[in-house]
Amino acid sequence: MARRQGSFIIQQLQNNQKDLSRINYLEFGAGRGWVLSYLQNTGLINSTMGIEPDDISVQWGRENLEADLRTGALNEDLAAEIPSKYPEANLISLIHVLEHLHNPCEILSLFRKNLKPHYLFLEVPNAEYEGSAMKVDTFPWSSMGQHFWSFSTKSLHLLLEGRGYQIISLECEGNPHYWEKHIAHLSLWRDYFSISEKKYLHGNLNLRDIFVANFNLAIGSGFVQIKGLMAPKYTRLDLPVIRILARST
């Protein structure tokens, strides 16, 4: 995935700026630094730096990828401090970060207002396919359950252009069937908890209801597993996403 993201960034930059040696890449939510490492190893850009809230990922990336990672979380204060803390940054990257922010509009407005002319790279899940999964995946401990927003190509155009960014390139990638098995499993659990909760709240839940609910859950899960064995196997590379490279205007 990092190779795909990194190659998209390099290709689009090459199409729009001949001298990549002046690019200083700053990534928020950089994880273990895979994209940082890919971009730095191309030898085409000047520098890479990543900000990541997870200490373990920061340590791993430093030790194994020699990535320039620092601990921190993106918020309005940090966004406003970029010009003083990272004055050379002219390519800001948010890879699967925008959907987790409480205030994406404010963050992008701060980028546009406080930074010198710069590029912005975004990758987010594609709402066209993610939306049906989000209806059933509301568990707070899941990654999707921590999404505050979901974005389509249209909403990203409105978001960026309304905050002073011009979209240079946009691409959609991934398999539209990626979420189907996940949705089928979670729908079973949603129905299981919904029926049990309604009966419990009305004082009608008994051992027979519990047995029937568990039996139906087991049978349903079995059908989903059998269907899954015959379906194509998907990996993270099949996740439907939207990638954008934009520049401040």
What is the model's pLDDT at position 218? 77
Confidence of residue 236 (pLDDT cuts 50, 70, 90): confident
Higher pLDDT residue, 197 or 42? 42
Lowest mean pLDDT among 86-90, 204-208, 235-239, 242-246: 204-208
Instruction: Please give the average per-residue pLDDT across 62-89, as a whole number.
Output: 94
Higher pLDDT residue, 13 or 145? 13
Listed in sequence order, the DSSP H helices in 86-206 are: 104-114, 127-134, 153-161, 180-201
Instruction: Please give the average per-residue pLDDT across 55-76, as a whole number.
Output: 96
Rounded to whole angstroms, the Cα distance separating 20 from 222 reads 53
Confidence of residue 134 (pLDDT cuts 50, 70, 90): low
pTM exceeding the 0.85 threshold for the entire prediction: no
Instruction: Please give the average per-residue pLDDT across 94-110, as a whole number.
Output: 95
> Which tens digit of pLDDT belongs to each residue from 157-201?
999 999 999 999 999 999 988 877 776 767 676 766 666 665 655
What is the model's pLDDT at position 227? 67
User: Mean pLDDT score of the chain, rounded to an integer?
Assistant: 86
Q: Is the pLDDT of residue 139 over 80?
A: no
Q: Is the pLDDT of residue 39 over 60?
A: yes
